[in-house]
């Protein structure tokens, strides 16, 4: 059986979405699918994020997860609204354990080898590296893979079309970015641009 993390790794790109109006959720998901990227992380940074998540989860073949999850309660609310994976910017043991209890994948953020070890102790093997560019980008991942060869990373933070290709390396499960889905473009309903950005970004990180 394919796990959700395998599905995300096959897509190789994880758009980070900040969505203000849930009316944009379905057209946005459809635009991403048209560009070959059938997943998104909806961040809990806007009042109507959960509604948007629920709507996106109804799009056939589209995998939606929750981002910026800072508490166990937020993890629960996200899963109730269709999230199939949970992403947090750092390590939160309550979020990791709530996700396990809900039987959904959790991708916590790490910024150091000590944090990798904390997550490993919780049984996690796929980690977000955040903020990736500021931490040294692909070179940081290669360095961490020395001691942690069993860990896959989802780099996130400061990744755009100009540096995406540097992450087409061993140890990267998927590349996370808001470059594909700028908040202002979503507000304008510029979904043809979303499709084009998805296609271009995916080409850059393909291996
Ligand atoms: C985030 O949490 O905002 C993500 O890491 C995306 O970062 P980016 O906006 O720099 O792509």
What would the pLDDT profile of 146-167 be if each residue is shown by its tens digit?
A: 999 999 999 999 999 999 999 9
Say if residue 1's pLDDT is above 60: no
Q: Which atom of ligand 1 is nearest to the CA of 43?
A: 2
User: Would you say residue 2 has pLDDT above 80?
Assistant: no
pLDDT of 62 strictly over 60? yes
Q: For ligand 1, pick from 66, 178, 185 the residue to mutate: most ligand atoms within 8 Å of CB.
A: 178
Catalytic (active site) residue 193: no
What pLDDT is attached to residue 157?
A: 98
Q: Which of 59, 120, 70, 129 is nearest to 94 (CA)?
A: 70
CA atoms of 81 and 61, how far apart (whole Å): 16
- State the chain's maximal CA–CA distance in angstroms: 45
Average pLDDT over residues 122-128: 98
Query: For residues 40 and 27, what is the distance between their CA atoms, to the nearest angstrom?
Result: 13
Neighbours of 94 (CB within 10 A): 12
From 157, 162, 95, select the one nearest 132 (Cα to Cα): 157
Better pLDDT: 124 or 207: 124
CATH number of 2-205: 3.20.20.70
Centre a 10 Å sphere on the Cβ of residue 6 and count the other Cβ atoms it contains.
12
Would you list the domain boundaries of the chain? Answer: 2-205
Token representation of residue 128: 């977000």
The percent of residues in the chain predicted with pLDDT above 90, rounded, is 98
Instruction: Note if 41 is an active site residue.
Output: yes
Task: Provide CB contacts within 8 A for 83, sequence distance 6+.
Answer: 42, 53, 57, 64, 65, 66, 104
Q: Cβ(63)–Cβ(7) under 8 Å?
A: yes
pTM of the model: 0.96
* pLDDT one-digit tens code per residue, 106-121: 999 999 999 999 999 9
Polymer length in residues for the chain: 207
Average pLDDT for 123-135: 98
Mutation to probe ligand 1, out of 108, 162, 176 (largest number of atoms < 8 A from CB)? 176
């Amino acid at each position: 059986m394919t796990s959700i993390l395998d599905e995300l790794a096959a897509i190789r790109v994880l758009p980070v979405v900040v969505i203000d109006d849930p009316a944009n959720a379905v057209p946005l998901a459809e635009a991403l699918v048209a560009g070959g990227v059938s997943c998104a992380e909806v961040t809990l940074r806007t009042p109507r994020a959960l509604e948007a998540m629920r709507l996106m989860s109804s799009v056939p073949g589209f995998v939606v997860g929750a981002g910026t999850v800072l508490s166990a309660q937020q993890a629960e609310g996200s899963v109730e609204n269709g999230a199939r994976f949970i992403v947090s910017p750092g390590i939160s043991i309550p979020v990791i354990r709530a996700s396990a209890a809900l039987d959904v994948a959790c991708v916590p953020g790490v910024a150091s080898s000590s944090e990798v070890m904390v997550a490993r102790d919780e049984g996690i093997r796929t980690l977000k590296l955040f903020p990736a560019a500021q931490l040294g980008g692909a070179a940081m991942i290669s360095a961490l893979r020395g001691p942690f060869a069993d860990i896959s990373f989802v780099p996130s933070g400061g990744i755009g079309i100009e540096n995406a290709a540097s992450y087409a390396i061993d140890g990267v499960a998927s590349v996370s970015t808001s470059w594909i889905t700028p908040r202002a473009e979503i507000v304008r309903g510029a979904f043809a641009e979303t499709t084009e950005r998805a296609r271009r970004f995916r080409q850059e990180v393909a291996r």
